[in-house]
């Protein structure tokens, strides 16, 4: 029945981009669906919680570790099929996300180009409803195949069942830990035009002299911009040990956006009107206006030298230190502007919820 023999007390810090945190009580590498199911059976038989580890780029593990069976997903494989003007791409959860984006761009399939350079694996993209520079996964995702931990059976959830919202889904806040994602299927546009919704991308393309950008042009600009902000993991980068953006951009009522504008007494506050009448604000901009600055440190934890939205763990950092610094940032923004910042990462092994 078991089918697996988990390792014990496996350090998780090496598997996470922050590089902090304690061990998993039990740990299994899963390269196929059968191993995932066997691990679920093993955990259920012993009353042990189940946790899923992907690329570790959006995860904060507590210093005491996590009292659970951690499955590290390694399922691989990409399948494609043409449907008229569209191409359907199905990628296993353990595939590199940027590898899938690169493949789509190389083959002229539009829909993912602005999501270039985002670290992590395919399986995480529906959980977070990953998005950047005017695109998000919810726009192209057709379905998700997953193991339902209530039954141990594989199920397929269509886009509607995923409950997508801004940086959110049923997998993150609706029923967290219920589903172990095995693969995701996306519908892309063959020969489609690139998405150009962000002024920052348009300006970068213009600076390169690109007037009629291709998918590859947009990908190149996105990667260049992300690198300039240390938002592409690179060996030797002093800002590499982070979760990328630690907070989501807050979406507030229009009246609150006007109130924040008055409080800042600054022109040019970044703001993006939403379809429901609310306004999205820039979390990094608010953090700096609350008194923080790029490169600011509190011991071994601080802000990125290139982006105020990234919290960086330096040598000697602890998970407790990361969370304490993040709470301080969020508290000061709330005190200054009355705006609550919501963290993007998932937290394991913390007794207190954010």
pLDDT value of residue 2: 52
Which tens digits make up the pLDDT trace of 8-23? 999 999 999 999 999 9
Which tens digits make up the pLDDT trace of 45-64? 999 999 999 999 999 999 99
For the chain (length 354 residues), average pLDDT per consecutive 10?
85 97 98 97 96 96 98 97 95 98 98 96 96 95 98 97 94 94 98 93 96 97 95 88 96 96 86 94 96 97 96 97 98 97 95 78
pLDDT value of residue 195: 94
C-alpha distance from residue 230 to each of 119, 163, 236, 309 (Å): 12, 31, 11, 11
CB 335 within 8 A of CB 273: no
- Which positions are catalytic? 167, 245, 344
> Other C-beta atoms within 10 Å of 186: how many?
25
The CA distance from 145 to 308, in Å, is 36
The CA distance from 174 to 178, in Å, is 9
Q: What pTM value is reported for the model?
A: 0.92
In the chain, the domains with their CATH numbers are 7-73 (3.30.43.10), 78-228 (3.30.465.10), 242-348 (3.90.78.10)
Which tens digits make up the pLDDT trace of 132-156? 999 999 999 999 999 999 999 999 9
> Residues near 282 by Cβ (< 8 Å), separated by ≥ 6?
249, 269, 270, 271
- Which sign does the torsion angle of CA 272, 278, 283, 289 carry? positive
């Amino acid at each position: 029945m078991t089918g697996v023999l988990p390792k014990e007390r496996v350090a998780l810090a090496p598997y996470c981009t922050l590089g902090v945190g304690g061990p998993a009580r039990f740990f299994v590498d899963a390269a196929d669906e059968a191993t995932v199911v066997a691990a679920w059976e093993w955990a259920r038989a012993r009353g042990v919680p189940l946790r899923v580890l992907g690329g570790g780029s959006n995860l904060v593990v507590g210093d005491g570790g996590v009292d659970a069976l951690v499955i590290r997903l390694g399922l691989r494989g990409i399948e494609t099929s043409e449907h008229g003007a569209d191409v359907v791409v199905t990628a296993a959860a353990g595939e590199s996300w940027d590898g899938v984006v690169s493949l789509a761009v190389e083959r002229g399939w539009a829909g993912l180009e602005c999501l270039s350079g985002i670290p992590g694996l395919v399986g995480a993209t529906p959980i977070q409803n990953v998005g950047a520079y005017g695109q998000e996964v919810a726009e192209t995702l057709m379905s998700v195949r997953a193991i339902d931990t209530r039954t141990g059976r594989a199920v397929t959830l269509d886009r509607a069942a995923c409950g997508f919202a801004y940086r959110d889904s049923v997998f993150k806040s609706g029923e967290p830990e219920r589903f172990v994602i095995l693969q995701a299927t996306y519908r892309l546009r063959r020969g489609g035009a690139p998405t150009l919704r962000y002024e920052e991308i348009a300006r970068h393309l213009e600076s390169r002299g690109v007037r009629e950008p291709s998918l590859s042009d947009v990908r190149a600009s996105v990667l260049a911009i992300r690198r300039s902000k240390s938002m592409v993991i690179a060996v030797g980068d002093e800002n590499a040990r982070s979760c990328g953006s630690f907070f989501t951009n807050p979406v507030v009522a229009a009246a609150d956006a006007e109130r924040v504008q008055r409080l800042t007494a600054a022109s040019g506050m970044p703001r993006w009107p939403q379809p429901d009448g609310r306004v999205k604000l820039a979390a990094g901009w608010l953090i700096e206006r609350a008194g923080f600055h790029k490169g600011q440190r509190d011991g071994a934890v601080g802000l990125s030298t290139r982006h105020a939205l990234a919290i960086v763990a330096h040598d000697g950092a602890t998970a407790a230190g990361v969370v304490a610094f993040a709470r301080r940032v969020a508290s000061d923004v709330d005190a200054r502007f009355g705006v609550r910042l919501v963290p993007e990462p998932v937290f394991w092994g913390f007794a207190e919820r954010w």
